[in-house]
């Protein structure tokens, strides 16, 4: 059984000293009653029965023992009843405050996701701003209802509605491991999306294109304010802007120091008057070879709580596609083709999900997964998903209520099946109930040939947002996604 940690704070009067004071008051009363009876009895012993004063003292002693006992019993009972009623009201208040705080966090889907160890915590460890003491469970309880008094005398808020989120916090799991990871989540609602895939499939380019588009174009157009999680994340965005401007992309570094995180998150707050609490986006990137080789320095616990997954595919890693289009690829594009087998990658990923989350296949299937066929700008691969093909399918299925995005999904699955990837498509459909296929080009042209000109990078995140956070989605998602299960639409088109 896990031992409950003692907090560096003074317990509330009603949870410790109050009981001592009640016990002391009752004990003192009974002691005085006994001392009074004994005093009268001692005087009786001095005078004896033959003395009038002796008889009087004996009578007084007997009266104190009998009537005094009854009187103090009644007084003690009344005092206990009054104090207990007051204490019960205090406990009800504490319980109501605790439940209200916990219900708010649960309803608003608020939790903390550590950037380093990736552990999830509902209540992080808060630091006293005066003495630096660590408070591991800063909630209404034995140490205070709305405020807790630290050992140094500083009063700390214990709920979301009276300022707890303004305190500095650290990750409780990192603390147990002897590390100090400062958190800046401030009780926001996170949206965690890992971007996964093999080496050189375009994960970092996709994150670069989406982040730049969202932060500098989508957010201002929809009155969304962006604030970077901390200085480190702002530095990452500076690199993103530089890469976007030059059309370059960095290979995600494989950390050699095992104390460093294998996956990196680009994290930023999204704020709007209609968003309470504010949202915190975490977009995770991990080196492809680390991902496929299972060589992570830390357990990728973000899979336990992520609201969606983006699975990147390099189409030119498919043998039939490469054979057909290789002559049209530039030397730079050929050099950047992913080498890992796509079927092998999805199997690694599914096994990783199962191991990390401990989820059954049924629960795991509820995680939305967006499969993105990238690099569609190369070798005119975009013709496979062209407006002409979309319009042709719309014309042939005029009576079917189709969205443009549904047709792209159909064309992506069709493209993969025609290129001997039907087993991959079947694996996605079987393991993930909520799945969508997208076509995208992050850079828009050959690498290092000018600024990014991304196509289709917003849609995968839009779809995940509609599944995970409808309120946020209502503020920026323009694309309409059919309410019908995508499988029904695909089956109808294929039929």
Please indicate, yes or no, whether residues 123 and 80 belong to a single structural domain of this protein. Answer: no
Please indicate, yes or no, whether residues 489 and 476 belong to a single structural domain of this protein. Answer: yes
Please indicate, yes or no, whether residues 332 and 440 belong to a single structural domain of this protein. Answer: yes
* More confident of the two residues 429 and 259: 429
Q: How many domains is the chain built from?
A: 3
| pLDDT (tens digit per residue) in 200-212 | 888 999 999 999 9
Confidence band (pLDDT; 50, 70, 90) for 133? very high
Q: Which of 33-37, 88-92, 156-160, 357-361 has the lowest mean pLDDT?
A: 357-361
- 227: left (phi > 0), else alpha (psi -120 to 50), else beta? beta
Domain that holds residue 102: 12-107
**Nearest-angstrom CA–CA distance, 409 and 407:** 5
Calculate what percentage of the chain has a pLDDT beyond 90: 46
Please indicate, yes or no, whether residues 19 and 167 belong to a single structural domain of this protein. Answer: no
Question: Is 323 a residue whose pLDDT tops 60?
Answer: yes
* More confident of the two residues 152 and 30: 152
| pLDDT (tens digit per residue) in 374-423 | 999 999 899 999 999 988 888 888 777 778 898 999 999 999 999 999 98
- Give the residue from 54, 72, 107 where a domain finishes: 107
Please indicate, yes or no, whether residues 284 and 361 belong to a single structural domain of this protein. Answer: yes
CA 314 to chain centre: 30
Q: Are 310 and 391 in contact (CB under 8 A)?
A: no
Please indicate, yes or no, whether residues 160 and 231 belong to a single structural domain of this protein. Answer: no
**Nearest-angstrom CA–CA distance, 221 and 211:** 15
Please indicate, yes or no, whether residues 362 and 441 belong to a single structural domain of this protein. Answer: yes
pTM for this model (two decimals): 0.83
**Nearest-angstrom CA–CA distance, 285 and 122:** 24
pLDDT score for 254:
42
Given strand 309-313, what is the order of strands in its sheet? Answer: 225-228, 263-271, 279-286, 189-196, 309-313, 369-373, 435-439
Residue among 255, 254, 251, 282 nearest 269 (CA):
282
Please indicate, yes or no, whether residues 173 and 300 belong to a single structural domain of this protein. Answer: no
* More confident of the two residues 329 and 58: 329
Please indicate, yes or no, whether residues 431 and 330 belong to a single structural domain of this protein. Answer: yes
Indicate whether 218 belongs to any domain.
yes
pLDDT score for 257:
41
pLDDT score for 266:
93
Indicate whether 5 belongs to any domain.
no
């Amino acid at each position: 059984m896990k031992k409950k940690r003692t907090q560096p704070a003074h317990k509330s009067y009603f949870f410790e000293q109050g009981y001592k004071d009640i016990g002391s008051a009752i004990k003192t009363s009974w002691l005085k009653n006994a001392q009074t009876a004994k005093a009268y009895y001692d005087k009786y012993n001095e005078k004896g029965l033959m003395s009038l004063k002796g008889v009087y003292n004996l009578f007084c002693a007997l009266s104190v023992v009998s009537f005094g006992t009854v009187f103090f019993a009644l007084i003690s009972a009344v005092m206990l009843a009054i104090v207990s009623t007051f204490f019960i009201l205090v406990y009800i208040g504490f319980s109501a405050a605790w439940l209200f705080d916990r219900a708010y966090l649960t309803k608003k889907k608020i939790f903390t996701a550590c950037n380093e160890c990736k552990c999830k915590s509902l209540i992080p460890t808060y630091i006293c701003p005066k003495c630096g003491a660590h408070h591991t469970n800063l909630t209404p309880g034995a140490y205070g209802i709305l405020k807790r008094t630290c050992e140094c005398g500083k009063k700390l808020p214990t709920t979301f509605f009276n300022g707890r989120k303004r305190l500095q916090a650290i990750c409780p799991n990192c603390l147990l491991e002897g590390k100090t990871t400062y958190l800046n989540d401030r009780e926001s609602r996170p949206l965690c999306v890992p971007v996964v895939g093999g080496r050189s499939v375009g994960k970092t380019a996709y994150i670069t294109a989406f982040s730049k588009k969202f932060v500098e174009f989508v957010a201002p157009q929809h009155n969304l304010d962006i604030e970077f999680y901390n200085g480190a994340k702002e530095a990452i965005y500076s690199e993103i802007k530089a890469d976007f401007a030059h059309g370059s992309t960095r290979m995600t570094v494989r950390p050699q120091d095992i104390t460093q995180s294998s996956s990196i998150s680009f994290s930023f707050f999204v704020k709007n008057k209609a968003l309470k609490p504010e949202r915190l986006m975490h977009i995770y990137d991990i080196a492809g070879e680390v991902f496929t080789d299972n060589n992570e320095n830390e357990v990728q616990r973000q899979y336990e709580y992520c609201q969606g997954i983006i699975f990147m595919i390099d189409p030119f890693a498919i043998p039939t596609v490469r054979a057909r289009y290789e002559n049209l690829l530039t030397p730079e594009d050929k050099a950047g083709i992913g080498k890992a087998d796509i079927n092998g990658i999805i199997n690694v990923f599914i096994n990783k999900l199962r191991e990390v989350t401990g989820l059954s296949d049924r629960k795991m299937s509820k995680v939305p997964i967006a499969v993105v066929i990238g690099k569609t700008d190369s070798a005119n691969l975009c013709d496979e998903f062209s407006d002409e093909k979309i319009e042709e399918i719309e014309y042939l299925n005029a009576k079917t209520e189709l969205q443009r995005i549904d047709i792209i999904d159909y064309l992506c699955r069709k493209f993969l099946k025609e290129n001997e990837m039907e087993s991959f498509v079947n694996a996605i459909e079987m393991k993930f109930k909520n799945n969508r296929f997208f076509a995208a080009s992050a850079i828009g042209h050959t690498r290092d040939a000018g600024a990014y000109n991304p196509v289709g990078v917003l849609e995968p995140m839009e779809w995940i947002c509609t599944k995970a956070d409808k309120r946020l989605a209502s503020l920026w998602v323009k694309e309409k996604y059919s309410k019908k299960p995508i499988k029904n639409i695909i089956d109808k088109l294929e039929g």
